[in-house]
Structure 1
Amino acid sequence: MGELFSRLSEQTSRLVRSEIELAKAELSRKAKAGAIGAGLLAGAALFGFFAFGVLITTVILALSLVLDAWLAALIVAVVLLVVAGVLALLGKKSLDKGVPPKPERTAENVKQDVQAVKEGFRS
């Protein structure tokens, strides 16, 4: 009987080690794929940034056909600053809703649980 438990323990340990190795290998493959994906997204963002710059230049050049070049550039810059300001205000408003990050509902539930336990001890 002792030998049976010894073999069971040994096989269980071997099984656990094998599962851990399998999990490590799987996570390693997934991490590598994730890193490649993140790199590709970073490259896409960089090229998108350059494309946006070219698009802005195109708008300035198009406006300069009917306006002075400096005025065309100024108009585009003001529009971009207004868009940036609106996005900043919306972002700040959104951040303010989540800061400080505290789980208010969970805290209320814990208070109710503590109160229920106290009442349970009293009765």
Structure 2
Amino acid sequence: MTDLPTPSEEKAANTSLGDLLGEVTRDVSTLMRQEIALAKAELSQSAKRAGKGAGLLGGAGVAGHLTLVFLSVAAWWGLGYLIGNAWSGLVVAVIWGIVAAILFVTGRKAIASVEGAPQTVETVKEIPETLKRNEENR
């Protein structure tokens, strides 16, 4: 039984080395352009998430500051009747310290959820394997 050449073997036999190298170069160039486009898309999405998280943190800071000012004065004044002005100021300061810690932890979690470009990293790792000879080309 005669082994018939595969289509890849026929193409290799009938195509010049320069043409084959040209095809490989075009394919690698296309692959690189696609990887760059994927990286841009992923980084754009990550930047939007980071911007949203930063905006939320900024808004929380402004709202927290205004709330701190008005409620602190009211609480200090109200507690001043019960425990004295000095102690009431300390109690109010501790409460707002706890609020600040909670806002910080929530903002840090939002920033930590930014992923970068995980799909691009995975597909770029596959490029060297793709360029190796496969069973059909041996």
TM-score, length-scaled by structure 2: 0.47
1:1-123 matches, cutoff 5 A: 1=13, 3-63=15-75, 64-67=77-80, 71-80=87-96, 83=98
Give aligned-pair identity as a percent.
Answer: 18
Deviation at 1:18, TM superposition (A): 0.5
CA offsets per residue over residues 58-92 of structure 1, 9 Å max, x none? 432332134166653332224556x59x99xxxxx
Measure the CA separation in 2 of the matches of 1:59 and 1:45: 20
Deviation at 1:5, TM superposition (A): 3.6
Q: Higher relative contact order at CA 8 Å, sep ≥6: structure 1 or structure 2?
A: 2
1:115 paired residue number: none
Deviation at 1:2, TM superposition (A): 7.3
Measure the CA separation in 2 of the matches of 1:27 and 1:55: 41
2:132 paired residue number: none
Measure the CA separation in 2 of the matches of 1:11 and 1:32: 32
Deviation at 1:42, TM superposition (A): 0.9
**Contact persistence 1:60–1:72 (CA under 8 A):** no
Aligned length: 85
RMSD of aligned Cα (Å): 3.1
CA offsets per residue over residues 29-75 of structure 1, 9 Å max, x none? 22223223212211110111122223323432332134166653332
**Contact persistence 2:68–2:96 (CA under 8 A):** no
Is the alpha carbon distance of 1:66 and 1:56 closer, same or farther for their aligned partners in structure 2, counting shifts above 3 Å?
A: same
